[in-house]
Amino acid sequence: MADIGARPVRSQVDLESCLNDVLLTASEMLQISRCSLWQFVPDGSGIECKAYVDDPGVPNIIGTILNAAEFPEYFNEVRTHRLFISDNTLDDARLGALLPYLEKAWIGAMLDAPIVIGGQNWGILCCEHRGGPRQWLVEEQSFVANLADCVAIAVSNLQRAQAEERLGQAEGRLRALLSTQEKPAAAITVDPLTQLPNRDALRLRLNDLVEERLGYAIICIDCDDLAKVNDSLGHAAGDMALSMLAHRLDRHAVNFGMLARLRSDEFALLVPGVTTPSELEAIADILLTEVRSPIVVAGHTLTQSISLGIALPDRLEDDPDEVIRNAATAMRRAKEQGGGTFAHFNPTMRHQAVARLRLEADLVTALSRDELKLFFQPIMSLGDRRLVGFEGLVRWIHPTEGIIPPARFIEQAEESSLILDIGARLFQQACTESARWRRLLGNHAPTISVNLSARQFADPSLLRIIDAAMEATGVPGSALKLEVTETSILSHADLVLNQIHAIRERGLGVVIDDFGTGYSSFSHLLKFPIDGLKIDRRFVSQIGQDRRSTAIVDAMITLARSLELNLVAEGIGTPEVANYLTAHGCWGGQGYLFDRPLTAEAAMQRIELALPHLNTGT
């Protein structure tokens, strides 16, 4: 699969070869007869079969079209979920209208993955099992989702190659027009929405500077909040906000150089003759200040924020496109720092970007090899030092590097869709271990707490993943807890509130992790029906050493007791801290004083040592 994802695709022949390998790989790995690839028709009203593999003699389905209006339930599912999973097509209400088509081909189970490119549904990878029902394993689900990502990468690569070819042709035409027809050329090089020069105009001006051997700099500018405007007020309001931003930027940019719109909400300011970072920083400050004042769009008062990346060519003969890419890389670094600021490009940024791509590919391999494992850190009841639970913490068991902590890979996983696959795999592991413990201790078995990222908590398929894992292992919801940070629940507040209610209906507890490090508003505790809080280790470790940290811990303990919430202190490293927390009424704690994160086998041994206390509840 890694080979397929990394394969260069620059022609239609390359793409067809890649897609055929995807279908054959899916058919062989899942042991299914039919695997097909469908593409949405241009107006999105249906899908057309573009390629498939099947048993010999089965009727050809190339060119078959399924209309969304005829099968609304199925299309709604594939448009809104990462996977469409049906273990039994005959009993699946979502497939009622589609059933005659499926029965004709003896399809008993389906595992479909939407192919998303640039935020838009491009098509569907459809894996079909002939015969009776079939339960799709979590590993199979992740495999198909990753294959769909491979298809998206291949199609994107072809689109990029075709776009580059068209741009090259357009540049040649533009040069010819510039020499003969000034007015038509100007019209072609103007962005219709903002009336700014477009990417082609920027290229032409850059090429002139290079030929004249004149120094220059590029400031790449990105709007931090356009997506929020589009989502809340609609794309028409988003276009208006973007046009207003372009006007505000150009009002000052015209004094320094040429402002062009590159794409969507991304602009570039070409500054000729400037070679010192301090001069460019002064320009960046002016632009940042200019956009801070509120604007009114569609009757709503909005504030705008931009991120800027600054790059200079190392040598005058450097490829201008490379300088633009460097500025864009620096701009993304500014966005990672929270937006509303600027960053200078340096070569380490490019190395880090390549390293992130390599890490993501390695994570895909790690998932396929089952190298990501849960370790279990004990949670103790401080009053009687009784083992009451474990927090599941992911570790990467690398074949050559050994145990890799999450700090080295979780952030990258969260930036991609991999965190969803990793989360599903880890929740399955937690359920499997819990079932093992319950066979030994029944209802006295310790609980397992599993961490969820913001993307996981907002994922529409979260409840399906929870239900599937609990049903497969027979573990009740009371054996599990989900931990989520304050910032995670507030980033998608309305959706998360519904998720929390649905999770608690299944019997699982919901705990706010790292309490005190996010928004820390008491109103959140009233709005969200939670079961417990965890005090972040940075406060706990300072008990007795820092007056403010100690006061914050005291206040959290009082708050939790008043609201009848279980409070767990993280990072307990000394008996003095444990004794302080116990004396002040903190319910639970975890940290190196009690034990480090343990492998599944070591956690089982720890449970067996605690058996007398667990069985008696003392």
Taken in order of first residue, the domains within the chain and their CATH numbers are 2-157 (3.30.450.40), 189-345 (3.30.70.270), 376-393+420-616 (3.20.20.450)
List pLDDT tens digits, range 484-541: 887 777 665 666 778 888 999 999 999 988 776 655 555 566 677 888 999 988 899 9
Query: At 433, is the pLDDT very low, low, confident or very high (cuts 50, 70, 90)?
Result: very high
- pLDDT value, residue 308: 94
> Cα separation of 281 and 560, whole Å?
47
> Cα separation of 198 and 188, whole Å?
9
Q: Which of the 8 DSSP states describes residue 371? A: -
Q: What share of the chain is helix, strand, coil (3-state, %, to 5)?
A: 50, 20, 25
> Cα separation of 303 and 225, whole Å?
9
> Cα separation of 190 and 250, whole Å?
14
Helix, strand or coil, per DSSP, at residue 11: coil
> Cα separation of 49 and 39, whole Å?
6
Q: How many CB atoms lie within 10 A of CB 536?
A: 20
> Cα separation of 396 and 415, whole Å?
18
Pairing of strands 120-130, 402-404: unpaired
> Cα separation of 94 and 395, whole Å?
38
- pLDDT value, residue 1: 54
Q: In this model, does residue 403 exceed pLDDT 70?
A: yes
Query: At 618, is the pLDDT very low, low, confident or very high (cuts 50, 70, 90)?
Result: very low
- pLDDT value, residue 66: 93
Q: In this model, does residue 236 exceed pLDDT 60?
A: yes
Residue 108 tokens read as 């008993």
> Cα separation of 227 and 229, whole Å?
5
φ, ψ of residue 397 in degrees (nearest 5): -90, 90
Q: Which of the 8 DSSP states describes residue 106? A: T
Say what the alpha-carbon torsion angle 233, 236, 242, 246 is, to the nearest 10 degrees. -150
List pLDDT tens digits, range 5-43: 555 667 888 788 888 888 888 888 888 888 999 999 988
In angstroms, the Cα distances linking 38 to 1, 78, 88 are 20, 12, 21
Q: Which amino acid is present at 571? A: G
Q: Which residues of 242-264 are buried (b: 16+ CB within 10 A; e: fewer)?
A: bbbbbebbbebbeebbbbbbbee
In angstroms, the Cα distances linking 471 to 92, 435, 444, 467 are 18, 11, 20, 6
Q: In this model, does residue 182 exceed pLDDT 50?
A: no
List pLDDT tens digits, range 306-346: 999 999 888 877 788 888 988 988 998 898 888 899 999 88
Residues 475, 450 contacting (CB under 8 angstroms): no
First and final CA of the chain: distance in angstroms? 51
pLDDT mean over 139-144: 86
Helix, strand or coil, per DSSP, at residue 504: helix
Residues 591, 572 contacting (CB under 8 angstroms): yes
- Report pTM: 0.55
Q: Which residues of 193-216 are buried (b: 16+ CB within 10 A; e: fewer)?
A: ebebbbbbbbbbbbeebbeeeeeb
Strand (E) positions, 178-257?
216-223
Q: Which carries the bigger pLDDT value, residue 352 or residue 1? A: 352
In angstroms, the Cα distances linking 88 to 52, 108, 474 are 22, 6, 20
Put residue 474 in one of left, alpha, beta given phi > 0 → left and psi -120 to 50 → alpha.
Answer: left
> Cα separation of 298 and 233, whole Å?
8
List pLDDT tens digits, range 434-491: 999 999 888 889 999 999 888 888 787 889 999 999 999 999 999 999 998 877 776 6
Share of the chain above pLDDT 90, in %: 33
Share of the chain above pLDDT 70, in %: 88
Pairing of strands 295-297, 266-272: unpaired
Supply the angle between the helices 138-180 and 12-30 in degrees, to the nearest 10: 180
The least confident of 129-143, 239-253, 407-421 is 407-421
Q: Which of the 8 DSSP states describes residue 51? A: E
> Cα separation of 63 and 374, whole Å?
46
